[in-house]
Amino acid sequence: MVNTPPPVKSTTPRKSKTKVMVPRGRLYVTATFNSTLVSITDDKGNVLCWSSAGEAGFTGSRKSTPYAATITVENAIAKARTFGMNEMAIFIKGPGPGRDVTLRVLRAQGIKVNMIADVTPLPHNGTRPRKAKHNK
């Protein structure tokens, strides 16, 4: 059996990330029937932080509750405050329970809202309908 020396750890200093102060940004909420996803970006669209009902500790059918959506949005806003953000444009997508909750949480947290947009995708024509049934 051959003795091999242990791997050598590099001692190069790591660069510490500097927190960028972003006074205003965008809050994207995807409210599905099964969960709520929130991401916060700067004005250019670079994601600064995010949160989801699963990350907040909810599992299974509890992820699809308005309470889970409330906690999810609060967590995302708390992360955004570390960047100095206090002004947001809101983009809401989907039919889930997180739609209404988002605006209530923003008002309670004292975030200034520039704009609210519903970006739920709507089909222009949809899929082809089923073949008509033959009745004899």
Instruction: Say what the pTM is.
Output: 0.79
Residue 6: alpha-carbon gap to chain centroid? 43
Indicate whether 57 pLDDT > 90. yes
- Give the whole-angstrom CA distance, residue 130 versus residue 18: 57
Within 8 A by CB and 6+ apart from 36, the residues are 29, 30, 52, 53, 63, 68, 69, 72, 73, 96, 97, 98, 101
Q: 73-96: per-residue pLDDT in tens?
A: 999 999 999 999 999 999 999 998
Element (H, E) at 116: strand 112-118
Give domain 30-42+51-118's CATH superfamily: Ribosomal protein S11/S14 (3.30.420.80)
* Range scoring the smallest mean pLDDT among 18-22, 45-49, 70-74: 18-22
Indicate whether 24 pLDDT > 80. yes
Mean pLDDT of 14-26: 78
